[in-house]
Amino acid sequence: MAFYLRKMASSMAPLAIRAMGVRRNHHSTLFSPLQNILSQKLSKKTTISPLHFSSLAAKQGSDANLLRTIDSEIKCAEESDDHVMVAEIPDGFPFEIQDNPGHQTIFLKREYEGETIQVEVHMPDLVTGDEEDDDNDDGNNDDEKGGQSSIPLIISIFKGDGPCLVFDCTAYPDEVSIESMSVKNQEISEDELAYEGPDFTDLDENLQKALHKYLEIRGIKPSTTNFLHEYMINKDSREYVTWLKKMKDFVAQ
């Protein structure tokens, strides 16, 4: 009986082993595709070119250097006298000032004897002491205006809805120079070319003097333009600081 049991066990062992082998093979056929996928993912590691890190580092370094330079420029500009100083409106200044931050021009307006007078004031064309010395060295002493700072002005005088007088002027220290004068119809489009008269310097001398007096009575005189010169220098300084801060905010983003 014992011999029979041993024989039965020995004969069944190969079957069990084969059955286990089948199960192992069955599991291996199930997991082998997953193993292949995992091995492929591991083998395909993302590689970043060293040039990417180099360009990124260069960009960050450049931005940081620019921000430091802007900060330094803001500090210098805020410490300047032009930025701190506020131009005081002189007594008897006849115009209302419209100054919008961020714009490079200001507007003046007043009513005078039934007229509306508007003045568009642009940033000053500054001439430094060094530039004046260079002009003198070049022998340009005859052109005194060329060595002086100036402010461009556009003066418009209205009477109701009818035509208006438009003066294109340049304000120098203690002098207002009329470059041109025209009579414009407010209803005519800017695209239409209207006759604007001769060059101002070609007009009769008495007519030139009378037109200068015409503007002076309406408030366009050296005391007014000298104040505007100081005012626009201060505005230029303020707008420059604001511009620097906007650029800094953009770079820092």
Q: What is the mean pLDDT of the segment spanning 75-81?
A: 81
Q: Residue 77: pLDDT band by 50, 70, 90 thresholds?
A: confident
What is the chain's mean pLDDT, rounded?
A: 79
* Terminal Cα-to-Cα distance of the chain (whole angstroms): 92
Q: Are 209 and 199 in contact (CB under 8 A)?
A: no
Cα 226 versus chain centre, distance: 28
Task: Evaluate if residue 26 carries a pLDDT over 60.
Answer: no
pLDDT of residue 33: 53
Q: Are 106 and 232 in contact (CB under 8 A)?
A: yes
> For residues 67 and 176, what is the distance between their CA atoms, to the nearest angstrom?
42
Structure tokens at 159: 């009477």
Task: Evaluate if residue 8 carries a pLDDT over 50.
Answer: no
pLDDT of residue 209: 96
Element counts in the chain: helices (H) and strands (E): 6, 6
Give the residue with greater pLDDT, 192 vs 199. 199
Task: Evaluate if residue 213 carries a pLDDT over 90.
Answer: yes
pLDDT of residue 61: 81
Which superfamily, per CATH, for 90-233? Mitochondrial glycoprotein (3.10.280.10)
pLDDT of residue 14: 47
Give alpha helix (H) positions in 80-167.
Answer: 81-84, 129-137
Please tell me whether residue 237 adopts helix, strand or coil conformation: helix
Q: Residue 82: pLDDT band by 50, 70, 90 thresholds?
A: low
pLDDT of residue 140: 55
pLDDT of residue 221: 93
pLDDT tens sequence across 90-137: 888 999 999 999 999 999 999 999 999 999 999 999 886 555 555 555
Give the residue with greater pLDDT, 92 vs 84. 92
Structure tokens at 246: 């906007």
pLDDT tens sequence across 138-188: 555 445 666 789 999 999 999 988 899 999 999 998 899 999 999 988 776
pLDDT of residue 136: 52
Q: Where are the domains of the chain?
A: 90-233
Predicted TM-score (pTM) of this structure: 0.69
Task: Evaluate if residue 25 carries a pLDDT over 60.
Answer: no
Task: Evaluate if residue 193 carries a pLDDT over 60.
Answer: yes
Q: What is the mean pLDDT of the segment spanning 210-238?
A: 93
Task: Evaluate if residue 15 carries a pLDDT over 90.
Answer: no
In three state form, how does the secondary structure of 5-54 look?
HHHHHHHHHHHHHHHHHHHHHHHHHHHHHHHHHHHHHHHCCCCCCHHHHH
pLDDT of residue 62: 86
CB-based contacts of 143, cutoff 8 Å, min separation 6:
135
